[in-house]
Amino acid sequence: MMKRTLLVATLALMFGVGPMAALGTAAPIELNSGVFFTQAATGESTGRGLGVTMLNDFALTSLGIQADLNLLSFDVQLYGSTNGSDTGALFASATAVLGGTGYQWWDIPLNFDLLAGSSYVLHFRPTVSTTNWLDDGGLGLAYYHDSGLPVDIGAFRLIDGEEGWTPPLNFSNFVHADLRVNGADAAAVPEPATLLLLGGGLVAARVRRYRRRSA
Do 33 and 81 fall into the same domain? yes
Do 200 and 183 fall into the same domain? no
User: For position 15, what pLDDT does the model report?
Assistant: 43
Do 100 and 138 fall into the same domain? yes
Do 209 and 182 fall into the same domain? no
Ranges 36-40, 85-89, 154-158: which has the least confidence:
36-40
Domain count, the chain: 2
Ranges 41-55, 137-151, 175-189: which has the least confidence:
175-189
Do 159 and 176 fall into the same domain? yes
Do 51 and 68 fall into the same domain? yes
Higher pLDDT, 44 or 197: 44
User: For position 57, what pLDDT does the model report?
Assistant: 98
According to DSSP, the β-strands at 29-31 and 36-40 are: unpaired
**Are residues 146 and 84 in contact, defined by beta-carbon separation less than 8 angstroms?**
no
Which residues on neighbouring strands pair with residue 73, listed in sequence order?
A: 97
User: For position 83, what pLDDT does the model report?
Assistant: 97
Do 125 and 200 fall into the same domain? no
Do 76 and 168 fall into the same domain? yes
CATH number of the domain residue 91 falls in: 2.60.120.820
Q: Is the pTM of this model over 0.85?
A: no
Higher pLDDT, 175 or 63: 63
DSSP string, the chain: -HHHHHHHHHHHHHHT-GGGGGTTB---EEE--S-EEEEE-S---SEEEEEEEESS-EEEEEEEEEEEB-SEEEEEEEEEESSSSS---EEEEEEEEE-SS-EEEEEEEEEEEEPTT-EEEEEEEESSTTS--B-TTS--EEEE-GGG-SEEETTEEEEEEEEESSSSPB-SS--EE-EEEEEEEGGGSPPHHHHHHHHHHHHHHHHHHHHHHH-
Domain that holds residue 11: 1-23+190-215
